[in-house]
Structure formats: C-alpha cells, structure tokens
A and B are shown apart, each in its own frame.
Chain A
Amino acid sequence: MDDLLIKLSRCVELGKTDKSSPYPPDMKGQDGADELARQALDKGITPDSILEEALIPAMAIVGNKFSNKEIYVPQMLMAAKAMNSAMKHLKPYFQSGETRRKGKFIIGTVSGDLHDIGKNLVAMMIEGGGWEVIDLGVDVSTEKFLKALEDNPGAFIGLSALLTTTMENMKKTVSAVREKYPASKILVGGAPVTMDYCQKIGADFYSPDPQGAVNYLGRMV
C-alpha cells in the first residue's frame, strides 16, 4: 500500500485532523488527514482506494477499540473529525458518481424522544464505515421514516431510543416499515434496548455499540 495511505490511515485512527491540530503531540506540525487526503488525490491515488484502504480500515480499528473499551467516546469523536476532514476531498467524487459508497443508511431517534448523542455516534461511525448516512434527527415520526425510505429505496434503517417509554414508539415504526417495505433491514439501539426487545418487535439487528452495526451492515453487502 502507498505510504501516503498508511500515514492517512494512522492520522484518522489517532484523530490528527490537520497540520494545526496539536494532537497527538509527537505528530505536532506534521500533515494531518486533511492534507494527506489531498496529496493522495493529487498523486493520482483513486478516491476508492483512499476510502477502502485508508479511511474505512482506520475507522474500523477505532470502532473495535471502543467496543472493547480500549478507547472512549472522545477518541472516537476525534477520529470521526479527522475522517470528515479527509472525506470532504472525496465529496465531489461521490456527487459525480465516480466513487460509490456501500449503500444508504437512514437513522433517527424515534418519535417522542429527543436524545441524540448516541444516535449521532452511530451515524458518524457508519459513515466512517463507507455508508451514506441520512440523519433524520430526533423525534422522528413513523411517516418521516417511511418517506425517507420511499426517497431512498433499499436503504437500511436505524432507530434509536433512550427511555423505555419512547422505546415503545420504536415498535410502531418497525411494524409500519415492515408492512410497507417487508424487505427492509431495521437496526435498533439505545440504552434500554436489548436483543430480546429487538426480536420481540421484529427488528433485524440490535447492537449495544456502533461498531456492531457497522459490522452487520458490512455483512449485508
């Protein structure tokens, strides 16, 4: 693999966004994910290689470390920020269709619930896994989820809830989605959600952390 990609991958993993980011201290003053992604493109490395060989693997390392409690939310967020700074150079290629992502993932916090921190983390990590994420925000009604699926046929869908009371609304959304789009794959998560509950309401997958969802989606393509 090209040396630039190895460096880029390392910067994302460690959360080195750009030259001016002070962290990690031993990389102070060096190029970060932002500069390296630009250089890679200028050198003729394809956007696909940048995504597949540098960014996605780096985010997978980060996600796995988080699942294993080797790192905490802040490190995951720093990595996501570094990834975004590299991604912005790839955006034109996504838009032109020259580079394609693995698929689309619609996510939202269910109706009646306003918690977003967990949902946002999942959205970031799935984006880092190479997916196009459509984030519908919080307090998302079943109709809104259905509309998003109508606009993005074949998209995967993720529901988040933080209270047992709002988790009940998950059930309603899952049933409605199942009825209209029987083939769609629904992922659920959030503090009170369990594997049992996921099965009970007929969702397809539950994960206590973002990486579980990234791995599941990876198995689906």
Chain B
Amino acid sequence: MMYETFSFDFRQLGITVTQLQKDMGYRKEAPDASVDLIISEVLEECETLGSIRAEYRIFENIEFDPLSRGLKIENIFFGINEIVFNHLAGSELIAVFLSTAGEETAIRGREAANAGDPLKGFAYDVIGNEIVEGAAELMNKELDKRFVREGMNLTNRFTPGYCGWNVSDQHKLFTLMPDNFCDISLTESALMKPVKSISGFIGIGREAKRVHSVCRFCNMKDCFYRRP
C-alpha cells in the first residue's frame, strides 16, 4: 500500500490577505483598514503554527458500480452519487486523503473572542479554513508530481457531505485509514476532530481530469465561499 505523510510549514501555504478578505465575504469592495490590520496580525501570529498535516493512501482495489452510482474500495461501498461518480469513474486508482490545520487556530481564536475581540476570533476561524484547504492543495500537488511521471492525471478532490455524497460515509472512509492518521479522530456523528479537517477521494488515471471549479456542481447557490 502506497502512502505519504506531509507536515507543512505555515509559510509554505502562501495564504494572502486578499484571500482571507474574500473568505470573509469581501469581493468587490475592500474591507476597512482595521479588518486588514487584524488579518495581517493573525497571519503573522500563524507563522509559528505546527501540526499542519496532510496524508494520502492509494488504493488499487477499486470497483465502480454504474447502476448504483457507487464505488467500492477494498470491498467497502461508498454511495458517492451522480456528480462525484461522473468525475471519478474511469479512475484506475483512488487516493483517500485527510488534511488538518490542527487545534491551534481554534484555541487561539476562542482565546481572542473570550478576551473581547470577536473579530480576531473570526479571523482565526477563517484562516483555519484556508490552512486545511491549503495543506490539501499542497498534498495534491505532490501527488500530481508523482503520477505525472507515470502518465497519469488527477481529478478534483471530492469530500463526503458534498454533491449528494452523504457525510455519514466518513465512517467507512476512516476504516480505510490507519488509526489516528494525521491525529484526526472521527466522532459517532461523523465529525472530525480537530474541526478544521477535511477528508475525501482523488481519482487517478490516464483519463482523469481536474475541472476549474467544483463549486458549480454544488447546489448551495448562496454560499459566500462560492467560487466562479
């Protein structure tokens, strides 16, 4: 079984003020100087963050079922549904991944909010989201490099709970991973701890394609994280 573990330095993620402004909702107009000030402060404080991690594990024993629009990995059935099925079908391998920003941003965010600075608390929350996504993206790039050499391509990342794929499939996903992979645990209600964690599948194959934005497949049209 092929797997790889990554530990990232915050600076490697290249998170920018502009990106965080967007995450906070600002698109057309720039936020007030005081918001930027807090974003910059939090960005700087995050430079010392540890425990930013991502890991993937590659599975060859996979089988797509066009009838149920499902996918079996090591004989475990995932009800990935129409949209995800259409993107993953044809893959020769599946990379199952996890990535996490760790607990630190949440702890610092709570401290800031309790100390009477809810805006700083929110900035930590938003940066936590960017970190976990950024870590997954860097892991994705490494995976890409590795398979390009073999003439293979990658699909987008797909996660349980999106695009009609039930979030409770997290339980099955976790059975494919060694215990405490990335120090992430799963609760009975399919919630990952630390909260700032994501999980999912990436398809790998000669015919696999990565499309520009997966947001257009999502039905949360009003989501302020929506990307064109």
Chain A's closest residue to B110 (CB) is A116
Asked if B118 contacts A24 (CB within 8 A), the reply is no
Asked if A113 contacts B191 (CB within 8 A), the reply is yes
Asked if A114 contacts B191 (CB within 8 A), the reply is yes
Stretch of B23-31, B52-60, B91-99 that contacts chain A: B23-31
Contacts of A164 in B (CB 8 A): 161, 166-168
Contact with A along B20-48 (1 / 0, CB 8 A): 00001110000111110100000000000
Distance (Å) between the CB of A27 and the closest chain B CB?
12
A22-B34, A74-B31 known; A163+B161 contact, CB < 8 A: yes
Contact with A along B168-187 (1 / 0, CB 8 A): 10000000000000000001
A219 to B128, CA, bound (A): 37
Q: Is A203 an interface residue (CB 8 A)?
A: no
Q: Which of A22, A24, A78, A163 contacts B119 (CB 8 A)?
A: A78
Q: Which of A25, A75, A166 contacts B189 (CB 8 A)?
A: A166
Asked if A112 contacts B118 (CB within 8 A), the reply is no
Q: Which of A25, A120, A168 contacts B33 (CB 8 A)?
A: A25
Contacts of A73 in B (CB 8 A): 24-25, 122
Distance (Å) between the CB of B162 and the closest chain A CB?
11
Q: Give the one of A21, A84, A120 with max B CB within 10 A.
A: A120
Asked if A81 contacts B117 (CB within 8 A), the reply is yes
Contacts of B73 in A (CB 8 A): none
Give the size range of B's interface with the partner.
20 to 34
Q: Is B108 an interface residue (CB 8 A)?
A: no
A163 to B169, CA, bound (A): 13
Contacts of B118 in A (CB 8 A): 77, 80-81, 120, 124
Asked if A114 contacts B195 (CB within 8 A), the reply is yes
A117-B125, A169-B189 known; A74+B161 contact, CB < 8 A: no
Asked if B119 contacts A77 (CB within 8 A), the reply is yes
Known: A73-B24, A112-B188, A163-B189; 6 extra A-B contacts, CB below 8 A, are A23-B33, A72-B25, A72-B31, A74-B122, A114-B191, A163-B190
**26 pairs, A vs B, C-beta closer than 8 Å:** A21-B34, A22-B34, A72-B26, A73-B122, A74-B32, A74-B35, A74-B122, A75-B32, A77-B118, A77-B122, A81-B116, A81-B117, A84-B116, A111-B189, A114-B191, A114-B193, A114-B195, A115-B195, A117-B125, A120-B118, A124-B118, A163-B167, A164-B167, A165-B168, A165-B190, A191-B220
